[in-house]
Structure 1
């Protein structure tokens, strides 16, 4: 029988994952601006366009089978081996298809100069999919501490390699080596810590039960991928590779808080929600608490970046990127708007509501692609980012309605509870922008603007949070107190 997951287990694994992502964030916070100063917008755009194709086909090649392994905890090793070979075989076919069609794909994406990069980056697909089975075995065990260490090592080493190569004039290849280094180090590490060794065992019938879970999940994964990657494709085709590079660089930095928190939390919450079964009250409590905490952590970071985007662009990326500060600010704003949705995807995925997840993702993908395409066609990159913000505001309402309806949570009550910290963070950001505008004559240095804006924002948010989230603070304190009592009770007396 699968172990029952309590709040303690979930928070422990979330803690490990967040610790890993925070370490990676610290390095990326330094290396992304360095790379931006050493490379050009065209370099970022070329790699980003090629990577979009690779990631899309890698996702299709995996077919969601490894996610099904996480849920299918009763599956034996024959099933695991079968999934491994199915994944690897599909990965090789996808890599071959990219290699043969690289020129046509690059032209289709609006970046004909990326064909050579695309042929080489096709090898990333087997590297990525070969490690998915080992990761699924870790997720089955809820053993995210080992994955946290591996993620930190692989991402940190790859980032340092990229900076070194960029410094010595390798140009766009620095970004390519970063991707391959991270994938290879993580692949070797996963198999080392899990102790899994693939055997030549193929039982195609074992895939049939997994495919019933995979079908709905894959549709939603593809739709989510389109949502996040369609802007790059549309911008490259309609506005050019330089604007695509500006979008890519700004998006890399604006996504760091999400990479730190969301990727860590989603990886843990998916298997955790899947183990809660039909215990609706426990599920609902875990959903609302995790949503509130994630919003309280992410919203101030994203709204804060929007508030100081103009000086931050100069400080982080340098004068050559100064023109793109509205892109950085609007990207941060668009991500801030949907912070309450951070736990909705792993919740729907883990509780088996594949149909709700699929249609929510499809509608969001269609709306995002259409809005950005129309805005880019008739306007500029900034107009496209404004359109993204509007779509994300609609997404917040739509996703909240769908999820709260599934768990019989009153819509308005659930929306207010999950979004309260976001509203507080928005008020804080308005205060920071007003402060920077009022003291513009004194804060003439962008470094001073960033430091002053950050300090004022932290003070405002802390005060507003204490006034509006006392019930959440009590829950967290009580959770910590209970955990401390359980830990003390589990220690044997001398």
Structure 2
């Protein structure tokens, strides 16, 4: 029988995943700006566009089968073997389509000179899809400690290799080798950890129930893919590779907090919510607690980066990227606005509400693509980023309404509870910007501006957090006390 999952179990696994992402955070914090100084915006743009195509074809090839395998905890090894061979067959097919259609696809994406990169990067698809099968075995057992160690090793090694090649003058190939290094280490590591050995067993009857589940997710996953990757394609086609590279570099850095926290949390929450079944009380408690916790962590980081974006761009990326500081600031703002929604996708996915997930994702994808395209066509890259911020504000309200309705949580109470830390973070960021403007004559160095802004922001947010989140603090304290075998100070509420 599958283990019962609650807040305690979720936080244990989230802790391991966040530890893994945090271990790579410091290195990425350094390597992304260094790579940006060594490479050109066109290099970043070319690889980003090519990777978008690869990820899209890999998503189609996987057909959501590994996600279905995580939910299907009673499936035997014959089912796993069948998924492996199905994934491998589709991966090879997608790789061949990409290899022979590279010229056409590169032109469609607005980067005709990237056809050669596409042919080489086609090999990433089999590496990704075959690794996903082994990962699903770890995920459905909630064994994230081993995956955390492997993720740290693969990301750190790949980043160091890329940095070394960039320093040696290999240019765009440094980014390509980084992708292959990370994928290859992850592939072999996962199979070594799980000790899974594929056998030539194909049982089509075993895969049909998985397809019924995965087909409901495919539409929403494709829509989410469009939401996150459409900006790159639209910018490349309308504004060119230089602006696409500026967007890619700024987005890479602005996404680091999300990579550290969200990627870890979403990987754990999806199987955790799927285990809770119809236990609405425990599910609601886990949903609200995880949403509040993620907002408390992510919102101040993203709003803080928005507040110091101008000096941060000079400090991190150098003078050649200084013109793109509004892009970094607006990207950070757009991600800050959406932080309360960080747990909604794994919640809807894990609880089987594929229809709500699908329509929410489709509407968001359409709105995001339209806003980016309109801003880029009639204005500039900055206008496109402003459009993204507006769409994310609307998405926050829409997603919250959909999820709270599914879980029967009062909408206004749920929205206020989940967004409270976002509001206080925004107030903190405004205070930082006012401070930097007031003391601009004294803070002449961008390094001083970043350090002073971070210090002032930390103090302001700490004060606001203590004033507004005492109930959450008590929940966290009670959770820690229960984990140590001590009685809670008071019953925790949802």
Q: TM-score, normalised by structure 1?
A: 0.98
Shift of 1:9: 1.5
The 1-side partners of 2:486 and 2:286 are apart by 19
Counterpart for residue 453 of structure 1: 453
- Partner of residue 127, structure 1: 127
Q: Is 1:406 aligned to 2:406, yes or no?
A: yes
Write the distance in 2 (CA, Å) between the matches of 1:429 and 1:159. Answer: 31
Partner of 2:480: 480
Alignment of 1:315-326 (within 5 A): 315-326=315-326
Report the counterpart of residue 225 of structure 2 in structure 1: 225
**Do structure 1's residue 43 and structure 2's residue 43 form an aligned pair?**
yes
Q: For structure 1, list consecutive stretches of 5 or more residues without a partner in the other structure.
A: 488-494
Which segments of 5 or more consecutive residues in structure 2 lack a partner in the other structure? 488-494
Question: Which secondary structure does the structure 2 equivalent of 1:110 belong to?
Answer: coil
In the alignment, the residues of structure 2 paired with residue 235 and residue 310 of structure 1 have an alpha-carbon distance, to the nearest angstrom, of: 22
Name the residue aligned to 2:142.
142
Partner of 2:105: 105
Cα RMSD of the aligned pairs, angstroms, is 0.8
* Aligned position for 1:249: 249
1:379-418 matched pairs, under 5 angstroms? 379-418=379-418
Deviations 1:76-125 (A, max 9, x none): 00000000000000000000000000001000000001000000000000
* 1:2 Cα offset (Å): 1.2
Cα distance in 2 for partners of 1:184, 1:377 equals: 39
Q: Cα deviations across residues 136-174 of structure 1 (Å, max 9, x unaligned)?
A: 000011000000000000000000000000000000000
- Between the aligned partners of 1:330 and 1:86, the Cα distance in structure 2 is 41
Query: Structure 2: how far apart are the matches of 1:433 and 1:199?
Result: 60
Take 1:92 and 1:179, find their aligned partners in 2: how far apart are those partners? Answer: 18
Q: Which runs of 4+ in 1 moved over 4 A?
A: none
Aligned to 1:179: 179
Q: Per-residue CA shift, 1:343-385, capped at 9, x if unaligned?
A: 0000000000000000000000000001110111000000000
Deviation at 1:6, TM superposition (A): 2.4
Between the two proteins, the alignment pairs up a number of residues equal to 487
Give distance in 2, aligned partners of 1:474 and 1:486. 14
- 1:402-451 Cα offsets, whole Å, 9 max, x none, are 00000110100000000000000000000000000000001000000000
SS at match of 1:131: helix
Whole-angstrom distance in 2 between the partners of 1:447 and 1:188: 42
* Mapped contact 2:154–2:185 kept (Cα < 8 A): yes
Specify whether residues 76 and 401 from structure 1 end up closer, same or farther in structure 2 by C-alpha distance, changes over 3 A only: same
Query: Is 1:277–2:273 an aligned residue pair?
Result: no
- The separation in 1 between residues aligned to 2:7 and 2:281, in whole angstroms, is 13
Alignment of 1:10 onto 2:27 = no
Q: Secondary structure at the match of 1:403?
A: helix
Quote the Cα distance in structure 2 between the aligned partners of 1:91 and 1:444. Answer: 54
Q: What's 1:33 paired with?
A: 33
Deviation at 1:58, TM superposition (A): 0.3
Match in the other structure for 1:68: 68
CA distance in structure 2 between the partners assigned to 1:237 and 1:324 by the alignment: 18
**Aligned residue number for residue 492 of structure 1:** none
Q: Which residue of 2 aligns with 1:293?
A: 293
SS at match of 1:199: coil
Q: CA deviation at 1:486?
A: 6.9
Alignment of 1:186-225 (within 5 A): 186-225=186-225
Q: What is the distance in 1 between the residues matched to 2:371 and 2:420?
A: 27
CA contact (8 A) 2:219 2:358 kept: yes
- Once the two structures are superposed, residues 195-251 of structure 1 have per-residue CA deviations (whole angstroms, 9 ceiling, x without a partner) of 000000001111110011101111110000000000000000000000000000000
**Which residue of structure 2 lines up, in the alignment, with residue 444 of structure 1?**
444
Paired residue secondary structure (2:455): helix
- Contact 2:6 2:286 (8 Å CA) reproduced: no
